[in-house]
Chain A
Amino acid sequence: MKGFALKSPKLGGWLIGIIARYYSMSSLAGDFLEEFEEMAQARGFLRAWLWYWRHLLKSIPVFLVDFIFWRFVMFRNYLKISIRNITKNKIHSAINILGLTVGLACCLFILLWVQDELSYDRFNKNLDNLYRVILEYPKGSQTAFTSYAAPAAAEWLKNNIPEVVESARFRIVANRPQILVKHGEKQYFEERFGFGDAELFDLFTFPFLSGDPKTALSNPNSIVLSEDMARKYFGQEDPIGKVLNVENQFDFIVTGVMKNIPNNSHLLFDSLVPFENIESFMPEYGKFLHRHNLHFFRTYVLVHEGASIPELKEKVLKYIAIQFKEEYTPDYKWRHHLQPVKDIHLHTRGMKDLMKRGDIRYIYIFSFTGILVLLIACINFMNLSTASSCKRAKEVGMRKVVGAHRLNLIGQFFGEAVFSSLLALIMALIIVFASLPAFNSLTGKQIALDISNHKLTFIGFLLIALVTGFLSGSYPAVYLSSIKPVKVLKGAVGLEKGKGFLRKTMVVTQFVIAIGLIACTMIIYNQYNYMQNMNLGFDKEHIVYIKLDGSLKEKYQAVKNELLQDAHIVNVAASSRILTNAIDWGGDFYWEGKEEKEERLSFSYSTVGYDFIETFKMEMVQGRSFSKDIPRKPNEEIIINEAAARFMNVESPVGLAANVNNVKGTIIGVVKNYNFQSLHNEIRPLVLTNDPENFQFMNIRIHPDNIHDTIRHIEKVCRTFEPGVPFEYHFLDEAFEILYKSEEQMSRLFNCLTVFAIFIACLGLFGLSLFIAESRFREIGIRKVLGASVPSLIELVSREFVVLVILANIIAWPVAYYAMNRWLQNFAFRTSLSAGTFLLSGFLAFIISFITVSFQSIKAATANPVDSLRYE
Chain B
Amino acid sequence: MKDLTKTEEIILLTIWRLKDEAYGVKIRRHISELIGKDFTYGNLYSALNQLTKKKYVAKHREESLPARRGWKRMYYTLSPLGLKALKESCEMNEKIWKGISKYAFELSDK
Contact A25 B41 (CB under 8 A): no
Q: CB of A27 within 8 A of chain B? A: yes
Contact A23 B40 (CB under 8 A): no
Q: Which residue of chain A has its CB nearest to the CB of B52? A: A25
The distance in angstroms between the C-alpha atoms of A60 and B42, with both chains bound, is 7
The distance in angstroms between the C-alpha atoms of A33 and B68, with both chains bound, is 6
Q: CB of A433 within 8 A of chain B? A: no
B23 / chain A contacts, CB cutoff of 8 Å: 27, 31
Q: CB of A207 within 8 A of chain B? A: no
- Given known A5-B67, A66-B46, A66-B49, contact A26–B41 (CB-CB < 8 A): no
Q: CB of A34 within 8 A of chain B? A: yes
Q: CB of B84 within 8 A of chain A? A: no
Contact A33 B69 (CB under 8 A): yes
The distance in angstroms between the C-alpha atoms of A806 and B8, with both chains bound, is 70
Contact B43 A26 (CB under 8 A): no
A66 / chain B contacts, CB cutoff of 8 Å: 46, 49
The distance in angstroms between the C-alpha atoms of A527 and B42, with both chains bound, is 73
Contact B49 A34 (CB under 8 A): no
What 0/1 pattern do residues 27 to 49 of B give for CB contact below 8 A with A?
01000000000101111011011
Contact B67 A28 (CB under 8 A): no
The distance in angstroms between the C-alpha atoms of A5 and B69, with both chains bound, is 9
The distance in angstroms between the C-alpha atoms of A27 and B63, with both chains bound, is 10
Tally of chain A residues near chain B (CB < 8 A): 25
Most chain B CB atoms below 10 A, which of A20, A26, A31, A61:
A31
Q: Which residue of chain B has its CB nearest to the CB of A5? A: B67
What 0/1 pattern do residues 8 to 27 of B give for CB contact below 8 A with A?
00000000000000011100
The distance in angstroms between the C-alpha atoms of A66 and B69, with both chains bound, is 26
Q: CB of B54 within 8 A of chain A? A: no
Which residues of chain A from 25 to 58 have a CB within 8 Å of any chain B CB?
Answer: 25-35, 37-38, 55, 58
**Cross-chain contact of A20 among B28, B48, B67, B71 (Cβ < 8 A):** B71
Q: CB of B62 within 8 A of chain A? A: yes
Q: Which residue of chain B has its CB nearest to the CB of A69? A: B46
Contact A55 B46 (CB under 8 A): no
**Cross-chain contact of B28 among A23, A31, A38 (Cβ < 8 A):** A31
The distance in angstroms between the C-alpha atoms of A33 and B28, with both chains bound, is 14
Q: CB of B55 within 8 A of chain A? A: no
- Measured CB to CB, the closest approach of chain A to B66, in angstroms, equals 8
Contact A34 B73 (CB under 8 A): yes
The distance in angstroms between the C-alpha atoms of A55 and B45, with both chains bound, is 13
The distance in angstroms between the C-alpha atoms of A37 and B68, with both chains bound, is 9
The distance in angstroms between the C-alpha atoms of A30 and B73, with both chains bound, is 6
Contact A33 B45 (CB under 8 A): no
Q: Is the interface of B mostly helix, strand, loop or mixed?
A: helix
Contact A37 B71 (CB under 8 A): no
Contact A28 B24 (CB under 8 A): yes
Contact A55 B38 (CB under 8 A): yes
Which residues of chain A from 751 to 775 have a CB within 8 Å of any chain B CB?
Answer: none
B25 / chain A contacts, CB cutoff of 8 Å: 31, 34-35, 38
The distance in angstroms between the C-alpha atoms of A55 and B24, with both chains bound, is 14
Contact A59 B65 (CB under 8 A): no
B73 / chain A contacts, CB cutoff of 8 Å: 27, 30-31, 34
What 0/1 pattern do residues 336 to 348 of A give for CB contact below 8 A with B?
0000000000000
B43 / chain A contacts, CB cutoff of 8 Å: 59, 62
Q: CB of B87 within 8 A of chain A? A: no
- Measured CB to CB, the closest approach of chain B to A19, in angstroms, equals 8
- Measured CB to CB, the closest approach of chain B to A55, in angstroms, equals 6
Contact B41 A55 (CB under 8 A): yes
Q: Which residue of chain B has its CB nearest to the CB of A59? A: B42
B40 / chain A contacts, CB cutoff of 8 Å: 55, 58-59, 62
Q: Which residue of chain A has its CB nearest to the CB of B62? A: A27
A31 / chain B contacts, CB cutoff of 8 Å: 23-25, 28, 41, 73
- Measured CB to CB, the closest approach of chain B to A471, in angstroms, equals 38
**Cross-chain contact of B42 among A27, A29, A38, A62 (Cβ < 8 A):** A62
What 0/1 pattern do residues 553 to 576 of A give for CB contact below 8 A with B?
000000000000000000000000
The distance in angstroms between the C-alpha atoms of A37 and B67, with both chains bound, is 7
**Cross-chain contact of B71 among A23, A30, A62 (Cβ < 8 A):** A30
The distance in angstroms between the C-alpha atoms of A30 and B41, with both chains bound, is 11
Contact B65 A28 (CB under 8 A): no
Q: Which residue of chain A has its CB nearest to the CB of B46? A: A66
Contact A29 B49 (CB under 8 A): no
Contact B49 A23 (CB under 8 A): yes
Contact B49 A27 (CB under 8 A): no
The distance in angstroms between the C-alpha atoms of A31 and B24, with both chains bound, is 6
Contact B67 A25 (CB under 8 A): no
The distance in angstroms between the C-alpha atoms of A60 and B48, with both chains bound, is 16
Q: Which residue of chain B has its CB nearest to the CB of A58? A: B40
A37 / chain B contacts, CB cutoff of 8 Å: 67
The distance in angstroms between the C-alpha atoms of A58 and B62, with both chains bound, is 27
A60 / chain B contacts, CB cutoff of 8 Å: 42
The distance in angstroms between the C-alpha atoms of A839 and B40, with both chains bound, is 76
Q: CB of B4 within 8 A of chain A? A: no
The distance in angstroms between the C-alpha atoms of A34 and B24, with both chains bound, is 10
- Given known A34-B25, A63-B42, contact A29–B67 (CB-CB < 8 A): no
Contact A27 B67 (CB under 8 A): no
A61 / chain B contacts, CB cutoff of 8 Å: 42
B28 / chain A contacts, CB cutoff of 8 Å: 31, 35
Contact B42 A23 (CB under 8 A): no
The distance in angstroms between the C-alpha atoms of A27 and B48, with both chains bound, is 12
- Measured CB to CB, the closest approach of chain A to B11, in angstroms, equals 14
Which residues of chain B from 45 to 91 have a CB within 8 Å of any chain A CB?
Answer: 45-46, 48-49, 62, 65, 67-69, 71-74
A29 / chain B contacts, CB cutoff of 8 Å: 68, 71
The distance in angstroms between the C-alpha atoms of A38 and B24, with both chains bound, is 14
A5 / chain B contacts, CB cutoff of 8 Å: 67, 69
Q: Which residue of chain B has its CB nearest to the CB of A33? A: B68
The distance in angstroms between the C-alpha atoms of A270 and B23, with both chains bound, is 84
A38 / chain B contacts, CB cutoff of 8 Å: 25
Contact A34 B45 (CB under 8 A): no
- Measured CB to CB, the closest approach of chain A to B54, in angstroms, equals 15
B68 / chain A contacts, CB cutoff of 8 Å: 29-30, 33-34
The distance in angstroms between the C-alpha atoms of A30 and B68, with both chains bound, is 5
- Measured CB to CB, the closest approach of chain B to A47, in angstroms, equals 14
Q: Which residue of chain B has its CB nearest to the CB of A66? A: B46
B62 / chain A contacts, CB cutoff of 8 Å: 27
- Measured CB to CB, the closest approach of chain B to A57, in angstroms, equals 9
The distance in angstroms between the C-alpha atoms of A62 and B49, with both chains bound, is 12
- Given known A33-B67, A34-B25, contact A27–B41 (CB-CB < 8 A): no
B41 / chain A contacts, CB cutoff of 8 Å: 28, 31-32, 55, 59
The distance in angstroms between the C-alpha atoms of A55 and B43, with both chains bound, is 11
- Given known A59-B40, A59-B42, A60-B42, contact A27–B69 (CB-CB < 8 A): no
A62 / chain B contacts, CB cutoff of 8 Å: 40, 42-43, 46
The distance in angstroms between the C-alpha atoms of A410 and B71, with both chains bound, is 32
Q: Which residue of chain A has its CB nearest to the CB of B64? A: A30
The distance in angstroms between the C-alpha atoms of A28 and B46, with both chains bound, is 11
User: Across chains A and B, which 9 residue pairs bring their CB atoms closest together, nearest first?
Assistant: A59-B42, A30-B71, A62-B42, A31-B24, A27-B74, A30-B68, A29-B71, A66-B46, A59-B40
**9 residue pairs bridging A and B, Cβ less than 8 Å apart:** A27-B23, A27-B62, A30-B69, A34-B67, A55-B41, A58-B38, A59-B43, A62-B40, A62-B43
Given A30-B73, A55-B41, A58-B42: 18 more A-B contacts, CB < 8 Å: A5-B69, A23-B45, A25-B45, A27-B62, A27-B71, A27-B72, A27-B73, A31-B23, A31-B25, A34-B24, A34-B67, A35-B25, A35-B28, A58-B40, A59-B41, A59-B42, A59-B45, A62-B42
Binding site for B on A (CB under 8 A): 5, 20, 23, 25-35, 37-38, 55, 58-63, 65-66
